[in-house]
Structure 1
Amino acid sequence: MTAPSLDALRPALEGVVASVIATCDADGLPNVSMISQVHYLDPERVALSYQFFNKTRRNLLATRRASVQIVDPETMRQYRLDFDYEETLTRGPLFESMKAKLAGLASHHGMEGVFRLLGADLFRVLSIEAVPGPTIAHTAQARPLLAATRRACDALDACTDLEELLDRATEVLEAQFGIRHSMVLMAEDGEDRLYAVASRGYRSSGVGAEVQFGEGVIGVAAREHTPIRIGHMTREYRYGAAITETARRAGLIDGAPRAIPFPGLAAPRSQIALPILEGGRLLGVLFAEAEETLRFAYDDEDALALVAGHLGARIAILRAGESDEDAPTPGEKLPLAGVVTVRYYAADQSVFLDHDYLIKGVAGAILWRLLREYQATGRTDFALRELRVDPALRLPAHAENLDARMILLRRRLEERQSCLRIEKAGRGRFRLAIACRLTLEEPA
């Protein structure tokens, strides 16, 4: 039997069937045990999960050699891989990716609290040998991921503004990859958090929901700039409908939380988060989840990483044309009906309409600035350029996410169906549409 390349063995490295590792001590005495995770790294290397300092671990450190037998769960074909130990990583992208995957495996096997990753042992593959034995025919038809990726990228290329692009990103995941639940989150300039700007497949959009760096698969993917994928449900990486402890500490106003609930599935069994990068800089995260176990395999990760990369490039291209500005289009003056009290809390730049939370952060500061200008002068037409240079908004020196914040603010106002709206008024311009009388308050 001719053994395939390591690339072709990736289905056997998902952890569906436990692998067996054999080592010897310095005197040649063999030891065989089970291993939780054999992680594909590249065509020549894998990483094994280091969880316990046991006989296997001592043998590895003594001889630097190991043999691992893996099983393809679809065909039951078995392969023996001989390894040479290189190093152990205890932090960084690879470690975090394996840690997340191990948490899912631990939950699947009822071993939460027992399976804890201490390190990622890197090995170079010296040889691959097919092990003779009974097999079953592979009947599942492979999804045409390459064609789906090409069509997805073509669809993103057709978008002419950022808002259309972000919505299209979630649309193509469903249309081309059959992924029903997804969202795009953008990074907050100068802060270790992201906020949702587009979503698909959820009962509520969750636009404005925040995720801190390091929180769940989304936050870890953002912090480490690497895809994070889980194939089994685990409490350790779940997002609850309630706000996080970080958000609770960040703002309480008379007991009212300043946060928007995360819109994710109540019981996801598979999740994947892919950083959206441009020139090595984090722009956001593309996130998808499913109710099926092991919905996202290595090939799905590769395809979605390409889509996320293309999304980052398109965002950069669209932003490069932001300096262009159209003449303002004429607007319609709306009749005023009713009174709404807008409260602004400078501590976290949060805005409440009457007693209901709307938004916080830079988006909140933008809305407050516009409303004060309107109240003082009656002005309703504005340009993005003037907001960028306004010191009162406390934007970071090289803030580039102003467009995403305006999308977030516009959608939050639309969802609230309030008497306030923000409308596009040409390239680089927008307009306040106000259909009520406003009372502005800034409590101490």
Structure 2
Amino acid sequence: MSRVLAVASGKGGTGKTSVSVNLCVGLARLGRRVCLLDADLGLSNVDVLLGITPELTLEHVLFEGVPMEQALIRAAPGLDVVPGGSGVSRLADLSRELRSVMAAQFSKLSGYDYLVVDNSPGISSQVLSLCLACPELLVVVNPDPSSITDAYALVKVLAENGMRRSPCLLVNKAASAASAQEIFNRVRGAMVKYLKLDARYLGYVPNDPHVSAAAARQRPLLEIFPASDAGRSLLALARSLDQAPLAAGLGESDPARVMEGALVRMRERLPVSPRLTASQATRQALDAAITLANLLENPGRTDGVAVAARLKALLLKARSGMEPGEDAHAGRGGPPQSVRVNVISPDASIGDILAESLDAAGLGVNPAGGSADAAVLYWPGGRDIPQAMLAELGELQYVLVRSLGSKEMPRLRREPSAVMDLPFNLEDLAGAVRRCAMRPT
């Protein structure tokens, strides 16, 4: 039996995966047997941070009959990794027979002391399902105001979908212990007041240049800079997590039962938030930001009062200027909100990831050959794209997404309207696609 912990964040850029990797390394250094499941389908860099190159993933285990033990990669002493790939997103589509396969294979992970699930950032149905199914939840937040807001939003949506346990919060990239405690107090205060949920403070990781230096060398921070400020903090966090008693009502878990629970929730297609018009979404975002500004107006802050007051004034002015039902782009020549996109990729897994990312950004993704306003073309550098796929491009304007490290361009009749290199920011990709759809063919 294992302790199963989901690691999540409300937005990208919090350092969630770095925390997951080094927390696992820290637990392994304490003598625990640890397994890290990479469930981040978008911009996952577990393999980069650990310097490993997966050949088999969870997808091979579930759909191609590969035993789980063959997919496991020994990344550090006491630490194994299960590369997730698109296999995690396909859990909801498992047949009854393959569900039995999944249970049998995940039961092989019950010998670990910890199973840590590194989720994608945000509040997709997959993320919600895994967070709700895992007995323990760690939410990573950093001092960026949008990170604080999105962390609260993540917990709010989980609460709306039935979560009643208190998550742990970890503040990453903190300027000091005092500022980290203040950030935790603000998030916890909002949770207690509006969600009737408490939170446990796991601790903080200081803003430390050794973190990016370790990532550049593709090795865990705790392996090459264990004496750094961040390294000492992460080892202390691992010790704190390991020594803390489980919350009331929680016990050790069977990884197979946890994944079965996640699968059930994925098949239910958990409600996130209904798709809103541009003005509705903007108004709700403004309301949320005003709430945050109220929380920031703390007399104990020397820098927060003025910032919060100014932020609130701007937000109130913006909201008062919007008419109900007004389209955020009306009269401005802005891009249409119902952009339809074709995703063209010779790599099915990358195609699935791109389609899911674009859908999460509010763009409609067509099946192959469907009528579309624009296209996203993935080019795995050095390989030709089948002519049948290029035929789907037709006369559409397109955004080119290139594989990591490739600076070449495919030989095509038309130039792309924009070029995105992996890894990319989802908002940047969505904006490029919307601008692409506006261009005349």
Instruction: Tell me which interval the TM-score lies in, with the shorter structure as reference length.
Output: under 0.3
State the TM-score, normalizing by the size of structure 2.
Answer: 0.23
Q: Which has the higher contact order (CA 8 A, sep 6+)?
A: 2
Length-normalised TM-score, structure 1: 0.23
Greater strand proportion: 1
Structure showing greater Rg = 1
